[in-house]
Amino acid sequence: MTGIAFNDPAVMANLLAKMLWEIKAVHFNADQPYTLASGLRSPVYIDCRKLLSYPRIRSSVIDFAAATLLANAGFEAFDCVAGGETAGIPFAALLADRLGLPMIYVRKKPKGHGRNAQIEGHMPEGARVLLIEDLTTAGGSMFTFIDAVRAAGGTVDHGIALFFYDIFDEAQERFAKGGVKLHSIATWRNVLAVAREQTLFDDTTLNDVEAFLDNPFDWSGRHGGVTQLA
């Protein structure tokens, strides 16, 4: 485990938002909205996997994740780190290395042949597992992996998403009911703040994005998308 410089959460959030803009991982387009997997129509789209292609950035982001967890969960809170198929796997490897912990990964469903495993790697019975994803919207995919770890005998009390949408009440309810503390570094509000600060778009676009963040289902419905999450 290397030394980790602790930092203020607001500073880390701002820096991650700037990194995402710098590598062009963020897209705003209110005129031609994106359709998300949920059917939601959105003027914003983000590709956090691009973080992996930039060594200095990915190292800093893993530092941020480690600092967030050590400060808010504890120094000896976990026995291993789990990544969800597929985006969470490389981030789990990086974070496990940074924290000096074993790493496992979790399939979306059992692979259907051989041992029919859903969890790959060694996870002792009762292991305290941290689940990491690159991003989460409302937590649905994270709980696919969390439920699999729990079914296999692991304990999951914490999860971390490098980027959290933080615009759906359903997300907070899901994590609370599921008994999982969600940690994150940055949200759409941080990304929008940087876009305003650096005047990356005209006011009309920025205001339209803010309207979506304030009421995503209303915005989606007015643009031909779903008005609730499945």
Q: Cα–Cα distance between 124 and 222 in angstroms, integer?
A: 49
Q: Where are the domains of the chain?
A: 9-222
Instruction: List, run by run, the mean pLDDT of 10-residue segments along the chain (230 residues).
Output: 72 97 96 88 95 97 96 96 95 97 92 68 95 92 94 96 94 94 97 97 94 94 86
- Alpha carbon separation from 12 to 6, 90, 186 (Å, rounded): 10, 21, 8
Q: What is the pLDDT of residue 37?
A: 80
Q: What is the pLDDT of residue 139?
A: 85
Q: What is the pLDDT of residue 149?
A: 95
Q: What fold characterizes domain 9-222? A: Rossmann fold (3.40.50)
H or E stretch including 93? helix 88-99
